[in-house]
């Protein structure tokens, strides 16, 4: 059987004023009809540029410099744009990475889904609208005919991604290119989207190129995996073979960088040192040599080619044959956090609501509803839940950026939000926040040095020389080169910006830090760097922290105790071990099920997460138990009576009428 897509010796270059970036270099790739091929690598390795080269949608200044792209026997390189437009969206389609920026905000989703049907199939307006409703139903959207008139901003991230898939599949393409289709989505939504793509692939008989940086995603959803690094293909194999017997050190490092639920939090995560090379001036030898633990002099001077067995070729002079095993022990926290009689932070029956406009009428968003928790000195408390459940609002309440409508947030026995003027400014030195998006939280007009100096100036800490010394020290502590101080935010990578955010939070030596989704949109390799850094810094400083995330595996690695939050309520609280080994709330179980494991056997045995449907609106949450509309165990009492947090064992509390252990 001939390949549906065959790429030979593809090179794609981006021409700048003073240099040329070799984004894709001499790449070979093939996809069979009905197959899913995973294309994995860090940001900037050429994955998306490969997909855009296939689609003929390269950005300005980029061009295919050489090679061949054949789709179902037709050569695409050099094809006139008119012919390419006929194929694009019809025979080959793409689901783009960011659904919010990819959808047209001025057009309804119905019109956007109908457009390719009218362009490629010559359908009438009514026929195209019917097809749009059919596609929304196919991607699992409830009441599809009613949603055709919605605009992108009216939909959640998961629903927008379903719309993107509906647009791509409207003409039933032979090949679907899914470019990071689940990046930064909740683990539950991610599981639903990936399950949907698998189901649609089988029903429509199409092939899929799944582009991602997450090895856990491809483990359960790809037939074969190609590993890409610095524009080169470095390894290719069937999914089970790649995970069991990876040969390239880069593949080994990617797998070792993933925090897993069964990982020992007493060990540091494996992380890849350094950064990918500058592709405007790539190194002469192996492009991974500078970051590789196996590298020799030959690696620095002679580039290996993709060779070896036909079913498992790799490009390495010193191949490995097993996953990472030896890991360094994680640092231990200073002092005994359990010796403190009084908690450092006490959140007591906090409520926070916002006024909103819903369909022309005034409404109230119930963001945080009667939440209580404590954090001891030196302790890490993890806060887990889907987007929209109130985690970030609670974090802002803790640091005093929001005031509660009722209840109290006390730090060291005193409510921060009740202070004013100089007392409030002084209190905020002890409570700092690491924001979710480091790019939007950094001033684009200020160099990093000025950004880091600002809190020291506001708090009147030292003279200029002392401030300079403090800034240099903190930059060194978070693993940034001193040259980063003279750069602007856009000149740094995502991992570097996240380190700047951590440095800014640590500058004033706070007693507690709130980290809001600190690694949600980072590559797995950069994520492990940041997680190890956060663990080390906290241990060295004896600082308490609240870590907010939708990923239980990340939180379990960092946290001593975990609180699971759903639609403004805490539904389960316990130690990391209790939550992982003896989770009792159905929502917690669903979050654990949805985490992609870098193990093909585990992932392919999964059917779907037990959490059904979309998160209800916080404007009108369900009566009784707020999770009941998505719970597989819900009964009449769940609608009539709200469950309270009850202790099931020492330190483990659950708000559920039918805890999973009792049901079992």
Residue range 75-93: mean pLDDT, rounded: 94
Looking at the chain, how many residues does it have?
664
Residue of 356, 342, 533, 501 whose CA lies nearest to 433: 501
Residue range 576-584: mean pLDDT, rounded: 91
Residue of 368, 334, 373 whose CA lies nearest to 546: 373
Neighbours of 317 (CB within 10 A): 16
DSSP 8-state class, residue 489: G
Instruction: Give pTM, 2 decimals.
Output: 0.85
Tens digit of pLDDT for each residue in 558-574?
999 999 999 999 999 99
For residue 340, pLDDT over 70 is answered with no
What's the rounded Cα separation, in Å, for the pair 571 and 588?
A: 8
Tens digit of pLDDT for each residue in 595-636?
888 888 888 777 666 787 778 888 889 999 999 999 989 999
pLDDT (0 to 100) of residue 333: 56
For residue 649, pLDDT over 80 is answered with yes
Tens digit of pLDDT for each residue in 123-176?
999 999 999 999 998 888 878 888 899 999 888 777 888 899 999 999 999 999
pLDDT (0 to 100) of residue 23: 92
Query: Which domains occur in the chain, in start order?
Result: 1-79+209-330 (3.40.50.300), 337-430+508-663 (3.40.50.300)
Mean pLDDT of the chain: 88
pLDDT (0 to 100) of residue 325: 65
Residue range 426-445: mean pLDDT, rounded: 83
Helix (H) or strand (E) holding 175: strand 175-179
pLDDT (0 to 100) of residue 326: 54
DSSP 8-state class, residue 270: P
Residue range 375-397: mean pLDDT, rounded: 91
Residue 188 banded pLDDT, cuts 50, 70, 90: confident
For residue 663, pLDDT over 60 is answered with no
- CB-based contact 258:597 (threshold 8 Å): no
b/e sequence 438-477, b meaning 16+ C-beta within 10 Å? bbebbeeeebbbebbbebbeeeebeeeeebbebbeebbeb
Helices (H), 176-287: 187-204, 215-221, 239-244, 249-256
Tens digit of pLDDT for each residue in 417-434?
676 777 777 777 889 998
């Amino acid at each position: 059987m001939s390949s549906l897509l065959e790429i030979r010796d593809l090179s794609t270059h981006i021409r700048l004023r003073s240099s040329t970036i070799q984004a894709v270099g001499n790449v070979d790739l093939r996809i069979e009809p009905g197959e899913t091929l995973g294309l994995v690598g860090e940001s900037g390795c050429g994955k998306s540029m490969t997909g855009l080269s296939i689609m003929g949608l390269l950005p300005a200044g980029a061009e295919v410099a050489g090679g061949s792209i054949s789709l179902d026997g037709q050569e695409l390189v050099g094809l006139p744009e008119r012919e390419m437009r006929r194929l694009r969206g019809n025979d080959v389609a793409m689901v783009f990475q960011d659904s919010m920026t990819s959808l047209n905000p001025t057009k309804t989703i119905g019109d956007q889904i109908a457009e390719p049907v009218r362009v490629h199939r010559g359908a009438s307006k009514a026929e195209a609208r019917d097809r749009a409703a059919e596609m929304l139903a196919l991607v699992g959207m409830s009441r599809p005919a009613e949603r055709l008139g919605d605009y992108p901003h009216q939909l959640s991230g998961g629903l927008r991604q379903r719309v993107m898939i509906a647009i791509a599949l409207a003409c039933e393409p032979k090949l679907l290119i899914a470019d990071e289709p689940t990046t930064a989505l909740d683990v539950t939504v991610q599981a639903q989207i990936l399950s949907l793509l698998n189901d649609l692939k089988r029903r429509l008989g199409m092939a899929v190129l799944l582009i991602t940086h997450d090895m856990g995603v491809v483990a359960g959803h790809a037939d074969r995996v190609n590993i890409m690094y610095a524009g080169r293909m470095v390894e290719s194999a069937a999914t089970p073979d790649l995970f069991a017997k990876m040969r390239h050190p880069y593949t080994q490092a990617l797998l070792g960088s993933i925090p897993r639920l069964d990982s020992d939090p007493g060990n540091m995560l494996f992380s890849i040192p350094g950064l990918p090379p500058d592709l405007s001036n790539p190194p002469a030898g192996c492009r991974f040599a500078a970051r590789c633990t196996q590298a020799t002099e030959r690696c620095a001077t002679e580039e290996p080619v993709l060779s070896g067995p036909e079913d498992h070729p790799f490009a390495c002079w010193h191949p490995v044959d097993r996953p990472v095993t030896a890991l360094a022990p994680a640092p231990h926290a200073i002092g005994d956090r359990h010796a403190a009689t009084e908690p450092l932070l006490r959140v007591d029956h906090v409520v926070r609501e916002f006024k909103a406009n819903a369909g022309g009428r005034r409404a109230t968003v119930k963001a945080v509803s009667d939440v209580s928790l404590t954090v001891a000195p030196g302790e890490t408390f993890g806060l887990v839940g889907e987007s929209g459940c109130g985690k970030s609002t609670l974090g802002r309440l803790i640091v005093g950026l929001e005031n509660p409508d009722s209840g109290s947030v006390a730090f060291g026995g005193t409510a921060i939000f009740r202070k004013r003027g100089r007392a409030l400014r002084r209190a905020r030195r002890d409570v700092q926040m690491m924001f979710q998006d480091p790019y939007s939280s950094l001033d684009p007009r200020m160099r990093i040095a000025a950004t880091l100096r600002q809190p020291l100036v506001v708090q009147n800490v030292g003279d200029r020389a002392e401030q300079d010394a403090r800034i240099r020290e903190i930059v060194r502590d978070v693993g940034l080169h001193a040259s980063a101080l003279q750069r602007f935010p856009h000149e740094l990578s995502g991992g570097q910006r996240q380190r700047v955010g951590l440095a800014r939070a640590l500058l004033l030596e706070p007693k507690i830090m709130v980290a809001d989704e600190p690694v949600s949109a980072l590559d797995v390799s950069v994520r492990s760097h940041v997680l190890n850094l956060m663990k080390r810094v906290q241990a060295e400083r004896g600082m308490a922290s609240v870590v907010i995330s939708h990923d239980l595996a990340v939180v379990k690695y960092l946290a001593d105790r975990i609180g699971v939050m759903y639609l403004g309520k805490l539904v389960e609280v316990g130690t990391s071990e209790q939550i992982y080994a003896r989770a009792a709330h159905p929502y917690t179980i669903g979050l654990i099920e949805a985490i992609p494991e870098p193990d093909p056997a585990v992932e392919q045995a999964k059917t779907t997460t037990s959490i059904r449907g979309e998160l209800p609106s916080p404007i009108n949450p369900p009566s009784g138990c707020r999770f009941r509309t998505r719970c597989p165990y819900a009964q009449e009492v769940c609608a009539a009576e709200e469950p309270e947090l009850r202790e099931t064992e020492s330190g483990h509390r659950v708000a559920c009428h039918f805890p999973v252990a009792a049901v079992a």
